[in-house]
Amino acid sequence: MSKKSLINVALIVALFLVFGISFVIGGLHTDPEERFGGTDGAATTQIQESHPDYEPWFHPFFQPESSEIESGLFALQAGIGGTILGFAIGALWGRRHRGTGHVSGTPDADSDAAPEPGSEPAATSSRVADATA
């Protein structure tokens, strides 16, 4: 294996270790009945305990009938966001890697690449020279 491959494997192993350790530690410090409560529920509980007379500024305009519908809508939102992110990354990757098959780094004659600024075709430069003379 090359040095780059070893580094990649070490980073992947480290990533799995970090996630594994965080799940173990997080599981030890939470109540098993409220393990998947979420931050919204924890924040609401904390606010109600510290300020019992607190009135919310607004209420949700849509309240799903069950937690399954809420989870499904969240998964749909995550899927749409992942699709948009994947499309954007793919478009940027394609833009970056377009035309990498050229050996010399210059575009072929049949490509649609624009000429560099300051470089003119030979016929144009001779016409400019004739016009200035």
Share in percent of the chain as helix, strand, coil (round to 5): 60, 0, 40
Q: Using alpha carbons only, what angle is made at residue 56 by residues 52 and 59, rounded to the nearest 5 degrees?
A: 140
Res. 55: pLDDT tops 70: yes
Q: Which two tokens stand for residue 113?
A: 């690449």
Over range 4-21, report the average pLDDT.
95
More confidently predicted of 100 and 50: 50
- What pLDDT shows up at residue 63? 85
> Is 79 a residue whose pLDDT tops 60?
yes
- Give me the pLDDT at residue 118, please: 63
- pLDDT score, position 25: 83
| Amino acid code (one letter) for 60 | P
User: What is the pLDDT, as a whole number, of residue 116?
Assistant: 64
Residue 15 — very low, low, confident or very high, per pLDDT cuts 50/70/90?
Answer: very high
Stronger pLDDT, 65 or 81, i.e. the higher one = 81
Taking the model in full, what pTM does it have? Answer: 0.40
> Does residue 64 contact residue 73 with C-beta atoms inside 8 Å?
yes
What pLDDT, on the 0 to 100 scale, is given for residue 129?
52
**pLDDT at residue 31 in the model:** 67
Residue 99's closest CA among 89, 83, 112?
112
